[in-house]
Amino acid sequence: MATAAAAYPVQSPLASEVSTTLTVGAGVAYEVFADAGQIPRWLPLLQHAHVLDRRNDGRARRVAFTRKLERGSLGYTLEYSYEPSTYTITWSTPDGSNVVLTGEVRFVPLSARACMMLYRLVIELPVVDDLLAGELDGHPASFVVAEFREHLRRFA
Tens of pLDDT, residue by residue over 91-150, are 999 999 888 899 999 999 999 999 999 999 998 876 655 555 555 555 688 989 999 999
Q: What is the pLDDT of residue 10?
A: 41
Q: What is the pLDDT of residue 8?
A: 39
How much is the average pLDDT of 46-63? 96
Q: What is the CATH number of domain 2-155?
A: 3.30.530.20
Asked if 38 contacts 144 with a C-beta cutoff of 8 angstroms, the reply is: no
Q: What is the pLDDT of residue 45?
A: 85
Q: What is the reported pTM?
A: 0.85
Sequence-distant (6+) residues with CB within 8 A of 156 are 23, 24
